[in-house]
Amino acid sequence: MIIRSLDSITDTDRDVKGALGTWRSKRLILADDNVGFSLHETTVYPGTETDLWYKHHVEAVLCVEGECELTNRDTGEVFMIGPGDMYLLDKHDRHTLRPKTRFRAICVFNPPVTGREDHDGDGAYPAPVSAAAE
């Protein structure tokens, strides 16, 4: 059994701030926990714009606070996401986040991230290293 709190990981190596300053991710469950997914609380800041494309991961996002405009860059569709809304990037969708207020969400990644990832030029995390390659 694993027990962790957001407070217990604040300002540790599990508390990651994006290099561009648009987001912060508190990573509660990571690849080394060996459960097949990672679980994060992510905050994205108002007045910012973040282009993302998880080409190596599937992400599910549940908004728990705030409001954010989500644009699917492949279709041009725009959605307003607020508390209680969920979106799933099941097709590795290229998307843009434009928070209207502080936007806080619970995010699940499959495959799990290792913990220190930041987005590359495409807005993606690196491809996971397979056990066979290690």
pLDDT in tens, 70-86: 999 999 999 999 999 99
Entry pTM: 0.86
**Sheet containing 94-99, strands listed edge to edge, beginning at the edge strand earlier in sequence:** 50-53, 94-99, 68-72, 78-81
Tell the CATH superfamily of the 6-113 domain.
Answer: Jelly Rolls (2.60.120.10)
Domain range list for the chain: 6-113
Q: Is the pLDDT of residue 113 over 90?
A: no
| pLDDT exceeds cutoff 60 at 128 | yes
pLDDT at 54: 87
pLDDT in tens, 28-62: 999 999 999 999 999 999 999 999 998 888 999 99
The pLDDT of 18-35, averaged and rounded, is: 93
